[in-house]
Amino acid sequence: MQKRGVEHVRIDAVQHGRRLDNFLTAHFGSLPKSRIYQMIRRGEVRVNGGRVRPDHRIAEHDDVRLPPASVSAPEKIHVPRRVVEQLRCSILYQDPTLLVLNKPAGLPVHSGSGQAFGVIDAARLLFSAGDSLQLVHRLDRDTSGCLLIARDHERLRELHDQFRSGKIRKRYTALLQGNLGRPVIRVDVPLDREARVHGERTVRADAGGLPSQSRFRVLRHLPGATLVSVAIATGRTHQIRVHAQHIGHPVAGDDRYGSREFNRRMRGCGLKRVFLHASSLAIPGRPGTGLNVEAPLPEDLERVLQRLASPVATAKKGKQGFLESRR
């Protein structure tokens, strides 16, 4: 047990978008949740000098004031062995300072919000000196693909700087509703992440939001849908999904920003999640030392494309209006 004084924590890119109560629970270890909520309710915890609610989403560069507290070491997180082995088989690249994983869909990057463990917890069990492993960025739970983990704090700071300056190039593969009429569509639309729809926090296109740029490039036309490669110059919460909705071609399987009818049709092709995959990362370095990593499209998404392109499936779905493209 140790006594901590008043702390001021600067939120980094990895913690961006996390609920305040989950952030505090992870920070204070085994401190009872009742005490966590008491600190928030009394205003002992401040974000940028102001009071906030437990469900407030912290953002990169926020200053979080933490009150003195007596805490013990955090409880050990149990990760099923099958998950650890799954992560072992998903390593795309590793060196003494960096680890790149092909994150499986359905696995969150860290614990919290009802999740007992995440990718980072499993990764720390895989490697010696696991406590030094830190997430460089985040992927949504249902998004698969390239995920960066730094193996020391110096590399973590370097990669954060490269992300903030836009030097790291990220590409995603997504399946969109309808037929994109142009081979390339550029979207430069600010996003507001504080919007609420039916009481649920969500993201929307808004002139008063944060600058956000995406480029959608057609890879393949399919019946009623288009497979695209998406390059993002910024990494806003739900950016690809909201920009796809904004141009009238939402991402397949997206229950929040997508089309209910289109998603129902995609479930008929075997889609069980958002069709979004972080397909590649390019990290700059000195001449000849840059890193390019690619993650192949997972089998579950490949099967969806095969069924969608199948003449038999097309004929059956065509009778139900499958070939219609909704904008």
- Alpha carbon distances (Å) from 165 to 162, 169, 186, 193, 235: 5, 11, 20, 21, 11
Contacts of 272 (CB under 8 A, 6+ apart): 253, 300
CA proximity to 112, closest of 131, 133, 91, 135: 135
Helix (H) or strand (E) holding 283, with range, is strand 276-283
Q: 21-30: string of b/e by CB count within 10 Å (b at 16+)?
A: bbbbbebbee
Which 8-state DSSP code applies to residue 316? H
CA proximity to 218, closest of 265, 245, 179: 179
Residues in the chain: 327
Which 8-state DSSP code applies to residue 120? H
The active-site residue out of 12, 21, 62, 140 is 140
Residue 293, helix vs strand vs coil:
strand
Contacts of 80 (CB under 8 A, 6+ apart): none
Environment class of residue 311 by beta-carbon count within 10 Å: exposed (0-12), middle (13-18) or buried (19+)? exposed
104 touches 58 (CB < 8 A): no
Tokens coding 208: 């008063």
Catalytic-residue membership of 12: no
- Which residue numbers are catalytic? 140
